[in-house]
Amino acid sequence: MKLFLASISTARIRAKSVTDALTEDYVARASRYISCATQFHDSEIALLTWLERVAARTVPVLILLDSRGKQLSSDDFAEHLIRLRDSGVQSVILAVGPPDGWSPLARARADLLLSFGLITLPHNLARLLLAEQVYRAFTILAGHPYHSGH
Amino acid sequence: MKLFLASISTARIRAKSVTDALTEDYVARASRYISCATQFHDSEIALLTWLERVAARTVPVLILLDSRGKQLSSDDFAEHLIRLRDSGVQSVILAVGPPDGWSPLARARADLLLSFGLITLPHNLARLLLAEQVYRAFTILAGHPYHSGH
Which tens digit of pLDDT belongs to each residue from B2-29?
Answer: 999 999 987 666 655 678 889 999 999 9
For residue A44, the one-letter residue type is E
Phi/psi at B131 (5° precision): -60, -40
Q: What is the overall mean pLDDT for chain A?
A: 92
Which CATH number among 3.40.1280.10, 3.30.70.1230, 3.30.420.40, 3.40.50.720 corresponds to the domain A2-142? 3.40.1280.10
Q: Is the pLDDT of residue B79 over 50?
A: yes
pLDDT in tens, A82-112: 999 999 999 999 999 988 899 999 999 999 9
Contact assignment for A136 to B129 by CB distance below 8 Å: no
Count how many pairs of residues, chain A against chain B, have C-beta atoms within 8 Å: 76
Question: Closest residue of A to B149, CA-based?
Answer: A99
In total, chain A counts a number of residues equal to 150
Which of B119, B123, B129 lies closest to A133 in CB terms?
B119
C-beta of residue A21 within 8 angstroms of C-beta of residue A56: no
pLDDT of residue A13: 59
**Mean pLDDT, rounded, for A71-78:** 96
pLDDT of residue A14: 62
Q: Is the pLDDT of residue A150 over 50?
A: no
ipTM for the complex shown: 0.91
Q: Where are the domains of chain B?
A: 2-142
The residue among B26, B1, B8, B19 whose CA lies nearest residue B134 is B26
**Mean pLDDT, rounded, for B54-69:** 92
Chain A touched by B127 (CB under 8 Å): no
pLDDT in tens, B97-142: 988 899 999 999 999 999 999 999 998 999 999 999 999 999 999 9
Q: How far apart are the first and last CA of chain B?
A: 27
CA distance B59 to B87: 12
Chain A touched by B128 (CB under 8 Å): yes
Chain A touched by B87 (CB under 8 Å): no
Which of the residue ranges A4-13, A20-29, A135-144, B136-145 would you say has the lowest mean pLDDT? A4-13
C-beta of residue A96 within 8 angstroms of C-beta of residue A65: yes
Residue A101 region, left (φ>0) first, then alpha (ψ -120 to 50), else beta?
Answer: left
CA distance B41 to B35: 20
Contact assignment for A125 to B133 by CB distance below 8 Å: no
pLDDT of residue A4: 96
pLDDT of residue B150: 47
CA distance B33 to B142: 8
Find all residues with CB under 8 Å of B98, minimum gap 6, and list them: B8, B9, B43, B44
pLDDT confidence bin for A41, thresholds 50/70/90: very high
How many Cα atoms sit within 13 Å of B8 on the Cβ side?
A: 22
CB atoms within 10 A of CB A133: 23
**Mean pLDDT, rounded, for A31-46:** 95
Which of A115, A129, A150 lies closest to B123 in CB terms?
A150
**Mean pLDDT, rounded, for A55-67:** 92
pLDDT of residue A9: 80
Q: Is the pLDDT of residue A23 over 60?
A: yes
CA distance A93 to A55: 12
**Sign of CA pseudo-dihedral B129, B135, B141, B147:** negative
Phi/psi at A147 (5° precision): -70, -50
Q: How far apart are the first and last CA of chain A?
A: 27
What residues of chain B lie within 8 A of the CB of A9, using their CB?
Answer: none
pLDDT of residue A98: 87
Which of the residue ranges A19-23, A44-48, A132-136, A137-141 would you say has the lowest mean pLDDT? A19-23
C-beta of residue B33 within 8 angstroms of C-beta of residue B78: no
